[in-house]
Amino acid sequence: MMRRLILLRHAKADAHSAGGDRQRPLTKRGEEDARSVGRYLAEAGLAPDLAVASDARRAKRTLDLALEAFPREVEHRLDDEFYLATPDRLLDAVRQTPAEISTLLAIGHNPGFAELASALASDGEPEALTRMRSKYPTAALAVLDFDAEDWAMVGEGAGHLERFVTPGDLRGGIADEPD
């Protein structure tokens, strides 16, 4: 059985918020990128069975905008432990995914998402691996496939990077904005 993990970093957010880091809203460009990534996922047939996002405002908004692109309701929830989580914490959460879920979309933050994606991917298209490991910009997504009966079997070096896509790729190769 194949398990597919889609790691989506939240879209571009304002640098500051009066409500603190958890309350930072998306910028206009961030909202556009979140919608664009959602359309990409839907058009590429990458519909998740479950979507889990950090409870930070920017991650929740990225989730909401991305899911608008799917014709059917996608089961989703927020996880406060995803907020600025370490790769180990994120991997623990992935391993607790119910067995009936074959494709999981996770939305959260760097550096945890970039580090987790790099640790999980043992192979894939060399250029995509290099790009992912060198920069994981906002609204970038890594699609990782695992030959695993259960999510508990997902571990470091067990994944194949099926693709790595950034907002710049979706805008026709225009460079991604600095974070």
| pLDDT, tens digit, 9 for 90 and up, residues 101-142 | 999 999 999 999 999 999 999 999 999 999 999 999 999 999
> What confidence score (pLDDT) does residue 18 get?
86
Residue pair 36/43 in contact (Cβ under 8 Å)? The answer is no
Q: Which of 30, 32, 36 is nearest to 11 (CA)?
A: 30
How far CA 119 is from CA of 4, 157, 162, 167, in Å, comes to 15, 6, 15, 22
Average pLDDT for residues 150-173, to the nearest whole number? 94
Bridge partners (DSSP) listed for residue 161: 124, 144
Picking from 48-57, 103-112, 113-122, 165-174, which range would have the lowest pLDDT averaged per residue? 165-174
pLDDT of residue 179: 61
Q: How confident is the model at residue 175 (pLDDT cuts 50, 70, 90)?
A: low
Q: Which residue has the tokens 């790729």?
A: 169
With 0-12 CB in 10 A as exposed, 13-18 as middle and 19+ as buried, what is 42? middle
- Whole-number mean pLDDT of the chain? 95
71 Ramachandran zone, left/alpha/beta (phi>0; psi -120 to 50): alpha
Share of the chain above pLDDT 90, in %: 92
According to DSSP H, which parts of 55-111 are helical? 57-67, 87-95
Q: Give the pLDDT of residue 171.
A: 86
Kind of pairing between the strands at 103-108 and 159-165: unpaired
Give the whole-number percent of the chain exceeding pLDDT 70: 96
Q: In the prediction, which pLDDT does 174 show?
A: 65
β-strand partners of 143: 6, 163
Q: How many Cα neighbours within 13 Å face the side chain of 138? A: 21
pLDDT exceeds cutoff 90 at 161: yes
Q: What is the pLDDT of residue 64?
A: 98
Least confident of 139-143, 154-158, 172-176: 172-176
- At a CB cut-off of 8 Å and minimum separation 6, what does 26 contact? 10, 11, 12, 13, 14, 34, 58, 61, 62, 65
Tens-place pLDDT, residues 73-106: 999 999 999 999 999 999 999 999 999 999 999 9
pLDDT at residue 70 tops 90:
yes
